[in-house]
A and B are shown apart, each in its own frame.
Chain A
Amino acid sequence: MQIPYEVSPRRDTGLFNSKLGVWLFLASEVMLFGGLFSAYVFLRVGIRDGVDTPWPWGIDVHGKYVFAGFINTLVLILSSVWVVFAWVALKERNWRKFQLYMFGVVGCAAFFMCVKALEYNSKLTKHHGIKLTDNAVLEGKIVNGTSMLDFEATEVSVNLLGGIPAIIRDLDSDAVFTVEWKGGTVELKGPGQVRSWFLRARREARRGLVKERKRYRNELKSDPATAQPVSVTTSATLVAAEPVAIRPGGRIMASYSDTSVSYRDGTTVTGTLQRDGIEFELHQINMQLVMLQSQRDSMAWEVIGDESVKDQFFAEQDKAYKKLRKHYGEKPVPEHMLRSHIINLHDVHLGDHGDHDGKKDHDDSHAGLEVHDSTVREAAGGGGGKGETIVIPREKVRFFGSHGPRYGNYYAIYFTITALHGLHVVGGAIVLLYFAVFGRKLFLKNPEHLANRVEVGGLFWHFVDLIWIFLFPLFYLL
């Protein structure tokens, strides 16, 4: 039976069915993205200066990501144009042209997702921030996997009633352990054997617990005075034949000391801490969360250990402040500007001692930020220090992470909205690709029907483009 009104419009609505359907669907999508944009406004407006992770506003902060967003905007606009030309080609009954335009649209979608993937990869793996205990933030990149500790384990105590210990994933294939179990000694080589043994031991421990509980309940019923409490072995200790190198870190680790590491799943590792410093390639310093008058005494300078970096930072800060002072004239510089990245976030280079001319700049008429060191060095440009790293002691670190959703409210809402938008791009591209590849049969049977389907698919595609048209300025330009 033919579904009615797939081609001809209904007399009451004046529309063919799928068109009304897709507009109702788009109305619901507006609600979805409207809620997310509303969340964006809440999060941005609700940032507390000096307390919350600063919102990275302004085009300069986003650096090369602006270019990626700009290219993506052009690509999506192009795809939007091509989808409407594909529909026109169908209306003109030109199958070949329709296919070419459609493949172009899908190609644009693929290109968009590739650029987005590169952007996500850069944010999630190539950019890190380390917040020190005085709230100074060092921006750059954690290198050599030093976000994890280096620890040599001699004993591992596992919780037999919990989940599979996370440490098992970290073991090398030649790690050898012995464990006292069922009255004997068992030797385990490699993570596979350790895992198998653990699953057996856990099963035994759980059965033992059930049996003991039953015994205890029965004894309580018969003679409560003599009932022996439940006693079950709930942990086991694996002893390493030779110290095993492990790299604990991240959210699976609860705490550590020089001789032990505790995991959140209840595992405790005994051994020797080899290294806990974080090796860091420093690119920028962000002092937005440090009071201006405390910045010169920040622990960041002690951690970095390079006076030239401090000089660079404050030289840039002075330049930025003088620019603001020139803009505001006699009026005081507003607080939000003094707390902004304009004053407090600057690129720095390690080991870059630049072009010192030793010029004294004590000119009070500029009314610049107080400079305790009477010698102001010219901020050196370019050169030196690229690839050089510093090692940050972990006890001085309050928080560190990549520029992922956890990093701050901006990143949280950015990943939420762009990821959801990306899923819409993928879904729309799949539908349009289906029309391009499998639509010939319907084109030959009823071309107007296919044209209507493509029109409806195109409406969804234009909506996806509409969302991005607003996303780009909100996340990259403003």
Chain B
Amino acid sequence: MADSSTKDFTKEKKIYTAVAIALFTATFVALAIGKIEFFDLGAPGPGAMDLFIGLGLAGFKASLVALIFMHLNHEKGLIYKTLFFTVIFFAGMMALTLFAEFDPIREQYDTIKTTGGKLLETELYRD
């Protein structure tokens, strides 16, 4: 049964292609930042800055997928209201990990002091 009420999707297809290229590029960038030492900001290994960049890139990619591919940039209000509560609950779960950091029952383990580059005795200390 032919349906004659089809619209032209040329513009949408161009947008989807552009988003696809952006997603691939961001993936390559994330890998390059991880692999190339020059881009390792701060101390060697994943520090706060690396975390920020890595998750920032992931967030950027996720936003493109959610807004463009999942059509969230022009959805109905009821969907946004549903997702609002989802975001609150998700933020709450992540916040639990922060609360754990303020747990007064903590114990520090052996620590190694370095003085003049030579390794010395260990020290056990408690909060």
Contact = CB atoms under 8 A, between A and B. Distances in A.
B79 A15 contact: yes
Nearest to A467: B62
B118 A27 contact: no
Interface string A49-81: 111000001110000001000100110011011
B9 A88 contact: yes
A93 B3 contact: yes
Contact of B83 (A13, A23, A91, A92): A23
Nearest to A23: B79
A342 B45 contact: yes
B117 A31 contact: no
Contacts of B100: 42, 45-46
Interface stretch (A191-199, A263-271, A440-448): A440-448
Contacts of A210: none
A34 B69 contact: no
Given A38-B97, A42-B100, A466 B66 contact: yes
A327 B44 contact: yes
Interface in A19-59: 19-20, 23-24, 27, 30-31, 34-35, 37-38, 41-42, 45-46, 48-51, 57-59
B24 A332 contact: no
Interface string B71-99: 00000111100110110011001101100
B70 A92 contact: no
A35 to B, nearest CB: 6
B47 to A, nearest CB: 10
A88 B54 contact: no
Contacts of B122: 291, 293
B6 A91 contact: yes
Contacts of B70: 459, 462-463
A77 B24 contact: yes
Contacts of A50: 109-110
Contacts of A367: 116-118
A295 to B, nearest CB: 10
Interface stretch (A352-360, A379-387, A419-427, A469-477): A469-477
Contact of B65 (A51, A88, A325, A465): A465
Interface size class, chain A: 35 or more
A465 B46 CA distance: 24
A226 B50 CA distance: 81
B126 interface: no
Contacts of A51: 109
Contacts of A324: 44
Given A23-B82, A81-B16, A473 B45 contact: no
B69 A447 contact: no
Given A469-B58, A469-B65, A14 B2 contact: no
Interface in B93-127: 93-94, 96-97, 100-101, 109-119, 122
A91 B44 contact: no
Nearest to A24: B82
A42 B94 CA distance: 9
B3 A448 contact: yes
A473 B57 contact: yes
Given A58-B45, A323-B44, A34 B27 contact: no
A35 B66 CA distance: 20
A186 interface: no
Contacts of A34: 89-90, 93-94
Interface in B21-77: 23-24, 27, 30-31, 34-35, 43-46, 50-51, 54-55, 57-58, 61-62, 65-66, 69-70, 76-77
Nearest to B33: A477
Contacts of A24: 82
Interface stretch (A108-116, A274-282, A333-341, A388-396): A333-341
Contacts of A335: 111-112
A340 B45 contact: yes
Contacts of B111: 335
Contacts of B23: 77, 80-81
A91 B100 CA distance: 50
Contact of B30 (A84, A92, A368, A477): A477
A38 B43 contact: no
Given A88-B9, A445-B1, A466 B54 contact: no
Contact of B109 (A14, A49, A74, A448): A49
A470 B45 contact: no
Contact of A446 (B1, B61, B119): B1
Contacts of A85: 13, 16
Contacts of B79: 15, 19-20, 23
A45 B101 CA distance: 9
A120 to B, nearest CB: 21
A450 B24 CA distance: 29
Given A370-B119, A447-B3, A338 B112 contact: yes
Given A74-B27, A473-B30, 6 more contacts: A23-B83, A92-B9, A291-B112, A293-B119, A332-B113, A462-B70
23 contacts: A27-B85, A30-B86, A30-B90, A31-B89, A34-B93, A38-B93, A50-B109, A77-B20, A80-B69, A84-B16, A85-B16, A92-B6, A324-B44, A325-B117, A327-B43, A337-B44, A342-B45, A463-B70, A466-B66, A473-B57, A477-B46, A477-B54, A478-B50
Top 6 A-B residue pairs of the complex, sorted by shortest distance between their CB atoms: A367-B117, A59-B34, A14-B76, A38-B93, A81-B20, A27-B86
